Structure 1
Amino acid sequence: MSNQTQSVQTKPICKISDAVFAKLRTVSILSTLNDEELRCLEGAQEIHLEKDGVLARQGEVAHYFWILLDGELSVMQAVAEGKEMKLAPIPSGTAFGEVPLLSNTPNLVSVRAKESADLLQFDEEAFWKLMTSCPGVRKSILGNMAMRIQKLQSIAVQQEKMASLGTLAAGLMHELNNPGAAARRAASQLRENLMRLHELSAKFSKTEMSHEQKQCMFDLQEHALAAKQPLRLNSLEQSDAEEALAEWMEEANIENAWKMAPTLVSIGIDAKELECAREEFAGPIFSDALSWLAALVSSMQLVGTIEESIGRVSDLVLAVKSYAYEGKGQRQTVDINNSIHATLVILGHKFREKEIVVEKELAPDLPIFQALCSGLNQIWTNVLDNAIDAASQHGHIKIRTWVEKTLHDGRPEICISISDNGSGIPTECQAHIFDPFYTTKPMGVGTGIGLGIVHRIVEQNGGVIHFASEPGSTEFVVRLPIDNVPPKEQSS
Structure 2
Amino acid sequence: MNEVTLAELKAVPALQEVPDDQLQWMLDNGQTVEIKVGERIFEKGQSLDKTYVLIEGRIRIWADQNGKVREITVIQPNTVTGYLPFSRGQKTPGYSEAIRDCRILLIPKTKIQEGIKLNYELTEALVHAMTSRVRDFTSLQQQNEKMFALGKLSAGLAHELNNPASAITRGASALQCQVQHLPALFKDVAAINMLPEKIDSVNNLLISKTDGADRPILTMMERADKEDELTDWLLDHNIKDLDIAENFVEFGFGVSDLEHLNSCTPSPKLDVVLAWMNNYLLQEKMVADIRDASHRISELVSSVKTFTHMDRDTDRQWLDIHAGIRNTLTMLNYKLRKAKIEVKEDFDTTLPQVKALAGELNQVWTNLIDNSIDALEGREGGQLEIRTKKDGEFVCVYIKDNGPGIPADIQSQIFDPFFTTKEMGKGTGLGLDVVTRIIRQHNGTVKVKSEPGNTEFSVCFPINDN
Q: Do these two structures clear the TM 0.5 threshold for a shared fold by scoring above it? A: yes
Q: CA deviation digits over 1:403-459, x for unaligned, max 9?
A: xxx99999xxxxxxxxxxxxxxxxxxxx99972597559x9xxxxxxx99x989xxx
Among residues 80, 85, 98, which one is paired with 1:95 in the alignment?
80
1:267 aligns with 2:277: no
In structure 2, the partner of 1:185 is 170
Amino acid at match of 1:220: V
Q: Cα distance 1:326–1:190, how it changes in 2: closer, same or farther (>3 A)?
A: closer
- What is the Cα-based RMSD across aligned positions, in Å? 5.3
1:127 aligns with 2:104: no
1:47 aligns with 2:33: yes
Amino acid at match of 2:246: P
Among residues 280, 287, 290, which one is paired with 1:296 in the alignment?
280
Match runs of 1:333-372 below 5 Å:
none
Among residues 186, 195, 211, which one is paired with 1:228 in the alignment?
211
Among residues 118, 131, 140, which one is paired with 1:155 in the alignment?
140
In structure 2, the partner of 1:305 is 289
Among residues 181, 188, 194, which one is paired with 1:211 in the alignment?
194
In structure 2, the partner of 1:276 is 260
Among residues 112, 120, 123, which one is paired with 2:98 in the alignment?
112
* 8 A Cα contact 1:182 1:309, kept in partner: yes
TM-fit CA distance, 1:284: 6.8
1:435 aligns with 2:369: yes
Amino acid at match of 2:369: D
Distance 1:234 1:377 in 2: 32
In structure 2, the partner of 1:198 is 183
TM-score normalised per structure 2: 0.58
Amino acid at match of 1:435: I
1:65 aligns with 2:47: no
* 8 A Cα contact 1:58 1:78, kept in partner: no
Q: Cα distance 1:149–1:241, how it changes in 2: closer, same or farther (>3 A)?
A: same
Amino acid at match of 1:270: G
Distance 2:244 2:328 in 1: 31
In structure 2, the partner of 1:252 is 237
Q: CA deviation digits over 1:259-283, x for unaligned, max 9?
A: 3223223333211121133356588
Counterpart secondary structure, 1:106: coil
Distance 1:324 1:169 in 2: 13
* 8 A Cα contact 1:180 1:309, kept in partner: yes
TM-fit CA distance, 1:183: 1.5
Amino acid at match of 1:90: Q
Q: Cα distance 1:469–1:439, how it changes in 2: closer, same or farther (>3 A)?
A: closer
* 8 A Cα contact 2:60 2:98, kept in partner: yes
Distance 2:48 2:329 in 1: 53
Q: CA deviation digits over 1:74-97, x for unaligned, max 9?
A: 4354699957769555324x3321
Distance 2:8 2:349 in 1: 75
TM-fit CA distance, 1:319: 1.8
Q: Which protein, 1 or 2, shows the higher relative CO under an 8 Å CA cutoff with sep ≥ 6?
A: 2
TM-fit CA distance, 1:182: 1.5
Counterpart secondary structure, 1:191: helix
Amino acid at match of 2:18: T
Which ranges in structure 1 are unaligned for 5 or more consecutive residues? 1-8, 12-16, 329-371, 392-397, 399-405, 411-430, 444-450, 457-463, 471-487
Distance 1:385 1:221 in 2: 46
TM-fit CA distance, 1:45: 3.9
TM-fit CA distance, 1:296: 1.1
TM-fit CA distance, 1:168: 4.8
Distance 2:227 2:217 in 1: 11
Amino acid at match of 1:148: R
Counterpart secondary structure, 1:91: coil
TM-fit CA distance, 1:22: 6.1
Amino acid at match of 1:211: M
Per mean C-alpha deviation after superposition, the further-off stretch among 40-49 and 272-281 is 40-49
In structure 1, the partner of 2:158 is 173
Distance 1:44 1:184 in 2: 70
In structure 1, the partner of 2:425 is none
* 8 A Cα contact 1:74 1:88, kept in partner: yes
* 8 A Cα contact 1:167 1:437, kept in partner: no
In structure 1, the partner of 2:305 is 321
Counterpart secondary structure, 1:211: coil
Q: CA deviation digits over 1:235-279, x for unaligned, max 9?
A: 26545444433333333343343x322322333321112113335
Match runs of 1:367-386 below 5 Å:
none
Distance 2:96 2:212 in 1: 65
Distance 1:239 1:469 in 2: 40
In structure 2, the partner of 1:345 is none
TM-score normalised per structure 1: 0.55
In structure 1, the partner of 2:458 is none
Per mean C-alpha deviation after superposition, the further-off stretch among 96-105 and 289-298 is 96-105
Counterpart secondary structure, 1:154: helix
Amino acid at match of 2:185: L
